[in-house]
């Protein structure tokens, strides 16, 4: 199963994805790619992670803004029939800017504004969470339950 985290910088993607990855570890093997820890052409590297000859983990988590619809569509195309779940983390700009200022490796406020204004929200995400009103733990719990439910229905 491939899980795409989508949202503006400061929306809580990495925090929630890390909590979720730990929880999913109880259900199987998890691999996570975090754009904050990557150098160079991030999306090319994410796309390459879906090479046909890759080792198939139970859960593959992509933690990046995915603010362009075409990037999410490319992941779906490369998934080769694997279940893909899009998690959209909605967050007001001011809260994202505040969180970005407080984090260790922040990005420029200009970049946050650009991504916010260019964000193409997913049409039908599997899960949408307002991170201004939901804690990271509660968000990870909701996503975990959704994934468990999807696995049940996908294996029947």
Q: What is the pLDDT of residues 50-92, one digit of tens each?
A: 988 877 889 999 999 999 999 999 999 999 889 999 999 999 9
Give me 1's structure tokens: 């199963």
**Domain assignment of residue 113, yes or no:** yes
**Domain assignment of residue 25, yes or no:** yes
Give me 24's structure tokens: 């999913």
Range of the structural domain that residue 24 is part of: 2-150
**Domain assignment of residue 68, yes or no:** yes
**Domain assignment of residue 156, yes or no:** no
**Domain assignment of residue 14, yes or no:** yes
Q: What is the CATH number of the domain that holds 86?
A: 3.40.50.300
Q: What is the pLDDT of residues 41-55, one digit of tens each?
A: 899 999 988 988 877
Q: Rounded to whole angstroms, how far apart are CA atoms 129 and 114?
A: 21
Q: What is the pLDDT of residues 109-155, one digit of tens each?
A: 999 999 999 999 999 999 999 999 999 999 999 999 999 999 887 65
**Cβ atoms of 116 and 34 closer than 8 Å:** no
CA nearest neighbour of 61 among 81, 34, 37, 93: 34
Q: What is the domain count for the chain?
A: 1
Q: What is the pTM of this model?
A: 0.92
CA nearest neighbour of 15 among 60, 63, 85, 49: 63
pLDDT score of 38: 82
């Amino acid at each position: 199963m491939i899980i795409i985290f989508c949202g503006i910088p400061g929306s809580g993607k990495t925090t929630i994805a890390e909590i979720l990855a730990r929880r999913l570890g109880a259900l199987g093997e998890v691999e996570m790619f975090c754009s904050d820890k990557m150098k160079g052409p991030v999306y090319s590297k994410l796309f390459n992670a879906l090479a046909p000859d890759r080792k198939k983990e139970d859960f593959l988590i992509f933690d990046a803004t995915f603010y362009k619809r075409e990037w999410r569509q490319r992941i779906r195309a490369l998934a080769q029939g694997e279940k893909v779940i899009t998690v959209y983390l909605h967050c007001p700009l001011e809260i994202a800017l505040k969180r970005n200022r407080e984090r260790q490796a922040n990005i420029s406020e200009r970049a946050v504004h650009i991504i916010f204004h260019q964000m193409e929200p997913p049409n039908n995400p599997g899960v949408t969470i307002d991170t201004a009103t939901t804690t990271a733990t509660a968000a990870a719990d909701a996503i975990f339950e959704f994934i468990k439910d999807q696995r049940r229905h996908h294996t029947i």
